[in-house]
Chain A
Amino acid sequence: MIDIQTNKSILQKAFLSRTLEERLLELYNEGKLNGTVHTCVGQELIGAVVSEYMEANDHVVSNHRGHGHYLAVTEDARGLMAEVMGRMDGCSGGIGGSQHLCNDRFLSNGIQGGMSPIATGIALSNKLKDNKGVSIAFIGDGTLGEGILYESMNLAAIWEVPVVIVLENNGYAQSTSFQQTFSGSVAQRVKGFGLDYYQCDTWDLEGLKNTMSEAIANARENYKPAFVEVTTYRLNSHSKGDDNRHAEEVVDYKAKDLLNQLKASGDDTIVAILAEARDKVDEAVVFGEGSPLRTPLTRPTADRPVSYSPSVGASDGEAKRINELIYEQLKSHFTDDESAMLIGEDIEWTNEFTEFDYGGAFKVTRDLSTLFKGRVRNTPISEQAITGIGTGLALAGHKALVEIMFGDFMTLTLDQLLQHATKFELMFDGKVQVPLIVRTPMGGKRGYGPTHSQSLEKYFFGIPNLTMVALNGRVAPGLIYQRILSEIKNPHLVIENKVLYTQKFDQDRLPGFDYELSDEHLPTLKISSDDPEISVFCYGEMHYSAEAAVKDLFEEEEVVCEIICPSQVYPVNIEPFMESASLTGKILIVEEGSGEGAWGSEVLARLIERGVRPDKVIRLSNNEVIPCSLDAELRQIPNAARILEALNQLV
């Protein structure tokens, strides 16, 4: 029998969770709650026990079934109740709700497996800070189906970080039995990745305690990532009313449940614990109902008028290639900021395993890994985990940089950017920030073919709280990175360009045209002259092709065009485009990637909304797969000849 006195703290937390969740279900039945409720009834002891071994710098991430974990770590019944009620004083401001809880050392998210790389990133930060902090991640048996979990485990073991993954294996993923979702052995999988494997269950409390204690201490003291499989059972349905399991099985487990047994025992301490829990829950309900309902979210506009001043241009010292200029700014940043980290594939210079230097597929990172040991790291080919670990580092206070080798591979990062990195600040009511920078080269014209040449900006266009930036050939990359890094609060996606990398910054300008930069934080480039008749809108590398066409058009037809090329692609500041379009009444939009439902479409729609009625509009883009044949590619991607043809149609 359980020693109630010794385990009083654990039991208090467990019964608080049970009581609160039972109340949640009542409130749902009464129609007082909306949304999901994934109760962890039957599993409460796990979180309660884990929390006993936590220390000051430890951190917990959890999933959709996280109330018990939350209460064990924070004991914040009021915040949880108000949150599920959708109130402003909820722990996530009434925005996150049941699956997205936020507190000082706790974050949960309803995307299966998505938190595992983030926990790994936080663990890495702890190791770097040498603060003895352990990062704990709760997952379920269903999570074992997500690949990101294994990417995270792989990296956790390679880098030997103090992460403890706690698998609450209750035998079912929603409606699906473990027998249908899992092949092989959990132990072998874990050991196969080089993590320490532990096993226990929720009916042997001492065993559970000893196992957790050992696993957490080992991670804390020896930087050994651990995986603890806890066999357990949820007594309620996955959500509400969707329990398809065998009825007798559920009944059996209800009888076996330690908390139920303790309740039935009538023990005085238990009775007192239950009463205390009930009072806390009552009080939490009152608190929640007294808090105002969450108001809808709004986003401030990015529109603001701009003024221009001449772009000074490359001094002799700056006539360097663009990849070199990026390198120099990164180096300067790493020198000034000891917490700076950069991870990615093939970014190291030389190391113990190789002879000749490498320094990045496009030679951007060069010798940073040698100059700043341990802070610039090669990773496995795991774009999703790379992004998630960057997010974890950023949450832990580092200005974290992540390199995705080819922009084409950004598709693998979408979940981490959209559902995690950018969303945290928004759904946790501004209580956390993710100063993450993802750097990646997009663009073709090198004959690399359909999966190594794309410009995929449009798939990331419009993600709330993501700032998307594109380097171009005439706004100093050093300036862009310096400005982003100096004030960064939200995730930034910086699109570099493969062709631009090897080109000298700010090449020959068109004589007779003024080259100006706006006073925006990330400046817009304006190339114009007297009495422009056509506006050309583009970003990234396209301005060079546009300039060549603009030059030809003036020479042939004596018509002047003006080019507007923003650095910040999203959010869009429409004012520079308004000013130009109102002046000329004729618009050419040039995009290297797909133009359907993309940046150009948005700019045009916003102009129309603001009352601009252009006489003529042409859009150039490449909406097709990029062929490997260089000749075809160069004619498919908008080039100077096609731009000139379009300009002639607009004249």
Chain B
Amino acid sequence: MRVVIPKESVSDDNYKITEIVYENGEQVSEGDILGSFETSKADFDIEAEQGGYVYTNYKVGETISVGDVFFFIYEEPKPDQEFMQQKASLSETSSQKEVSGASISKKAMALIEKEGIDPGAFAGKKLIKEKDVHDWIAANKQLDTSLLQDQYNANDVVVYGAGGHGGMCIDIIKAVGELNIVGLLDGDSTKKSYMGYKVLGTEALIPALIERGLKKLVIGIGFVGNLPKRQKMYSRMEDYGLELPSIIHPNALIEPSAVLGQGLQVMAGAVIGSNAKVEDNCIVNCNSVVSHDCIIGHSTHITPGAVLAGHITIGDRCTIGMASTAYIGVKIADDCTLSNGVHVFKDLEKGTLVNH
């Protein structure tokens, strides 16, 4: 049977438990006083209306409300489902992670739990918002270095980007045979491997890799439509102290008189003509043609099939679309984009987008 808290006082609905006489499972007789509670006006005792084995989920000092079940009395010394359910619901309400002295927002709490952060890390703060957790993660999050080797060699290289463009880089590196791919990096932590190479982790791992002797990295992301971001990434990798070697497919055709910068990626079938000059971080993609005496700025992408006549100057961060062409001597300024298949005969100002 269940012993329910009665409403003893008009004035209040919550009472303080002042006494619990028996341990759970002890036997009681009808009329025994099981415990007491205190209202704002007086103390009241709770009696056993029948004999049996008594159980409670409450403790002295806790608050109990009118209508709650204070005690359960069973014929056998064995509590039932209802008792266990009450126990579960009582502990649910008190189990939320806490930081003493601080209020935590739900978003912050969710992030803390997802990242497995010890809430004690925020001790001393009054309010913890999601941004605070992000800030903490950026400053403190432990990296998982389990996939790293203890030591890397001078010709080991990591490819950043476990997908499309990265796959092309992997094939080129393997074809050339000079560098040894030791793993991939990717911002998406759900990616585990690609083309037989393990994804070691995110960019956050780079310092750890360098500590272990890694020197070289290849950017295996095209950043289509966002070449400024590609440029930033290149700078960032340089800031880490990494070397970004150029990778050139054995089947690319490059005249010896051409002058090439660092970190270039030249795909199969690409042609770079006599005395042409290509600066750092450019992609000269499959079957594109950079004719003699062209000058290409940095972080520019000559996409597959694009054809440039001789003496063309192109600035930084330009995208030259597939099967597009440019007339001899044209000057294309920084940050221009040629859509696929367009033909340019006149100079272009900075930031121009050429459509049909």
Contacts and interface: CB of A to CB of B under 8 A. Distances in A.
Is chain B a partner of chain A in the same complex?
A: yes
Interface of A: 321, 323, 362-363, 446, 498, 501-502, 510-514, 529-530, 551, 554-558, 560
A558 B40 contact: no
A191 B237 CA distance: 107
A511 B103 contact: yes
Nearest to A324: B40
Contacts of A551: 103
A181 to B, nearest CB: 44
B120 to A, nearest CB: 14
Given A502-B12, A512-B126, A556 B40 contact: no
A362 B11 contact: yes
Given A512-B128, A555-B104, 9 more contacts: A363-B41, A501-B40, A502-B11, A502-B12, A511-B99, A512-B125, A512-B126, A554-B103, A557-B105
Contacts of B101: 511-512
Contact of B103 (A323, A362, A555): A555
B129 interface: yes
A513 B103 CA distance: 8
Contacts of A446: 10-11
A362 B12 CA distance: 11
A512 B103 contact: yes
A71 B11 CA distance: 55
Contacts, number: 55
Nearest to A556: B106
A558 B130 contact: yes
Contacts of A501: 11, 40
Given A362-B11, A502-B12, A529-B126, A321 B40 contact: yes
Interface string B81-106: 00000000000000000111111111
Interface of B: 9-12, 39-41, 98-108, 125-130
Contacts of A512: 101-103, 125-128
A502 B331 CA distance: 85
Closest 7 CB pairs of A and B: A502-B40, A512-B103, A512-B126, A512-B102, A502-B12, A558-B129, A558-B105
16 contacts: A362-B11, A363-B40, A498-B11, A501-B40, A502-B9, A502-B11, A511-B99, A511-B102, A512-B103, A529-B126, A551-B103, A554-B105, A555-B105, A555-B106, A558-B108, A558-B130
Contacts of A555: 103-106
Contacts of B108: 558
Q: Which of A323, A446, A511 has the most CB of B within 10 A?
A: A511
Contacts of B12: 502
A363 B10 CA distance: 12
B103 A510 contact: yes
A314 to B, nearest CB: 15
Q: Which of A323, A362, A502, A558 has the most CB of B within 10 A?
A: A558
Contact of B127 (A362, A498, A554): A554
A530 B40 CA distance: 37
Nearest to A363: B41
Contacts of A498: 11
A510 B100 CA distance: 11
Contacts of B41: 363
A529 B107 CA distance: 19
